[in-house]
Amino acid sequence: MALRAALRQKCGLIGILSQPSSSGSHSRVSAVLVSQMRNNATSPKIKVDFNQSTGVAVLSMQSPPVNSLSLDFLTELCISVEKLEMDRACRGLIITSSLPKVFSAGLDILEMYGKSPERCGEFWRAVQEMWLKMYSSNMVTIAAINGSSPAGGCLLSLTCDYRIMSDNPRYSIGLNETLLGIVAPFGTDKNIIKNTHTCSN
Ligand X SMILES: CCCCCC/C=C\CC(=O)SCCNC(=O)CCNC(=O)[C@H](O)C(C)(C)COP(=O)(O)OP(=O)(O)OC[C@H]1O[C@@H](n2cnc3c(N)ncnc32)[C@H](O)[C@@H]1OP(=O)(O)O
Q: Which residues are catalytic?
A: 107, 152, 176-177
Size of the site for ligand X (CB under 6 A): 24
The residue from 75, 76, 87, 152 that contacts ligand X (CB under 6 A) is: 152
169 contributes a contact to ligand X by CB under 6 A: no
Strands (E), the chain: 46-51, 56-61, 92-97, 140-145, 149-150, 162-165, 173-174
Residue range at the interface with ligand X (CB under 6 A); choices 33-41, 43-51, 178-186, 193-201? 178-186
Residue 173 touching ligand X (CB under 6 A):
no
**By the rule CB under 6 A, 110 interacts with ligand X:** yes
Q: How far apart are CA 196 and CA 201, in angstroms?
A: 9
What is the rounded CA–CA span in Å between residue 112 and residue 85? 30
Pairwise CA distance, residues 199 & 26, whole Å: 29
Q: How far, rounded to the nearest angstrom, does the alpha carbon of residue 45 sit from its chain's CA centroid? A: 12
Asked if 71 touches ligand X (CB under 6 A), the answer is no
User: Per CB under 6 A, does 66 bind ligand X?
Assistant: yes
Regarding 177 and contact with ligand X (CB under 6 A), the answer is yes
In angstroms, rounded to a whole number, what is the distance separating the alpha carbons of residues 137 and 178?
Answer: 28
Name the residues that contact ligand X, by CB under 6 A.
Answer: 65-66, 68, 101-102, 105-110, 127-128, 131, 148, 150-152, 155, 176-177, 180, 182, 184
